[in-house]
A = this chain, B = another copy of it.
Amino acid sequence: MSKGRVCLAYSGGLDTSTILKWLINEGYTVVAFLADVGQEEDFAEVEKKALALGAEKMVIENLQKEFVEQLVFRAIQCNAIYEDRYLLGTSLARPVIARAQIRVAEETNCEYVSHGCTGKGNDQVRFELAFRACNPNLKVIAPWRMPEFIERFQGRQDLLKYAAENNIPVSSTPKTPWSMDDNIVHCSYEAGVLEDPDHTPPKELWTRTVDPVDAPNKPIEFTIHFDKGIPVKVVTPETTVTDSVELFKLLNKIGHDHGVGRVDIVENRFIGLKSRGCYDTPGLTIARLAHLDLEGLVMDSKVRELRDQFVSLTWSRQLYNGMYFSPEREFVENSIIFSQQNVTGEVRLACYKGNTYVLGRSSDASNLYSESDASMDSLEGFSPMDTTGFIEINAIRLKKYGLQKIKDGKPLSTSY
């Protein structure tokens, strides 16, 4: 008799193939699940493999649209970034995948969900917090945190041996000396040789972007149109795209060809360890810059100040830490949407040899920028004498501060 039904996140690789087989050998019935979030994958091949290994069923769902529209566009709306560098490519995908896996588990009457994430990383946390929130009744099997599993599989050799014994086909392509995870937003590279933070990533590591040195010698110019902070149209010299997924893929293509979006960092994982990660994130790097630029033109300065300090940083941290399905993410996201009411307009850009440049921006949605107001040559509607009062009132505290320093024998006019 089966120990129960398990919905396993299955990628077709050595790790999850081993887990699939191991679960069956342990007496479980396995429903394999794979989310299509835009990664490069031979989905038919994965399905074939899962079934060959004994999965009762393989469910593959195309979540690209949901991913782009519900997660990626929200990230663009708040200029999401983690620790000033990382655009959250993996973090953004996790909630969409986990939610779909729960749906599949529910539909296939599973009592368990399982995944192949390691016990030191962020992804296990992201997946499982999502699982617990989406359906607290489903139990989680995390083999890489089970003593019986990790004692048996102490290294790659143990996995290969088990594969040989259990007829698990192993890819003939040699394994890269780092691990990778990709989706429509980015490809991440970590572990292996990258664990030395002073080891420069080799040229062949990057899969989503051309090496800037090899990128075209001529910039490409194009335009992104935004509506309430969401990209709704991309126009290049050759094409115009408005579909959300297609538009994002076009930005990826531009970024790819011109080498835009590579990042190499040491970051702080939620569980308190530091780790080194490399990411190439072509389209989102471009879209984020364009959005940031448009906000300069149309967003009120004080709203922006509050949004930058409290909303963007918080949402980014929530996503990184796997707190998407939480009341606090809902709370913060409500503010993001509210802040974007006037972020409508277009930004003209160029990409060249690893970089994106803003060429200009325009919008009809806001009256905040005005050439005549900004003009140094015009005093229409502006009385410079008012600034005197503004300065004097602001100086009230500062004069007292300066006088106190003089009294204390440390005048501010001294260069210390």
Show the binding face of A for B, using Cβ within 8 Å: 66, 70, 79, 83-85, 96, 99-100, 102-103, 106, 118-121, 124-125, 128-129, 132-136, 142, 144-147, 150, 155, 179, 190-191, 195-200, 212-213, 217, 219, 262, 264-268, 271-276, 292-293, 296-297, 300-310, 313-314, 317, 323, 325-328, 331-332, 334-335, 338-339, 348, 352-355, 357-362, 366-371, 373-377, 379, 382-404, 407, 411-416
Instruction: Judge whether A388 and B129 touch: CB under 8 Å.
Output: no
- Known contacts: A66-B415, A403-B136. The answer to whether A306 contacts B331 by CB under 8 A is yes
Cβ–Cβ < 8 Å partners of A332 in chain B: 306
Taking the closest CB of chain B, its distance from the CB of A43, in whole angstroms, is 20
Rounded to whole angstroms, the CA-CA distance of A367 and B384 in the bound complex is 31
Task: Please tell me if the beta carbons of A384 and B144 are within 8 angstroms of each other in the complex.
Answer: yes
CB contacts (< 8 Å) of A358 on chain B: these are 264-265
Instruction: Find out whether the CB atom of A404 lies under 8 angstroms from the CB atom of B367.
Output: yes
A102 surroundings in chain B (CB, below 8 A)? 413
Known: A147-B385, A302-B328, A304-B83. A398 touches B355 (CB 8 A): no
**Given A83-B304, A388-B386, A272 contacting B394 (CB threshold 8 A):** yes
Given contacts A135-B402, A302-B328, A335-B334, contact A276 B374 (CB under 8 A): yes
Residues of the B chain whose Cβ atoms lie less than 8 Å from the Cβ of A402:
132-136, 325
Contacts A100-B415, A266-B369, A384-B144 given; does A361 touch B274 at CB 8 Å: no
User: In the bound complex, do residue B390 and residue A142 qualify as a contact, i.e. CB atoms below 8 Å apart?
Assistant: no
Q: Chain B residue with minimal CB distance to A309? A: B313
Q: For the complex formed, measure the closest distance between the CB of A197 and the CB atoms of chain B, giving whole angstroms.
A: 6
Picked from B296, B374, B385, B394, the residue with its CB within 8 Å of the CB of A195 is B374
* A373 contacts B273, C-beta separation under 8 Å: yes
CA distance A125 to B327 in the complex (A): 24
9 closest pairs, A vs B, by CB?
A: A389-B389, A119-B384, A268-B301, A272-B396, A198-B360, A386-B389, A132-B395, A266-B296, A390-B393
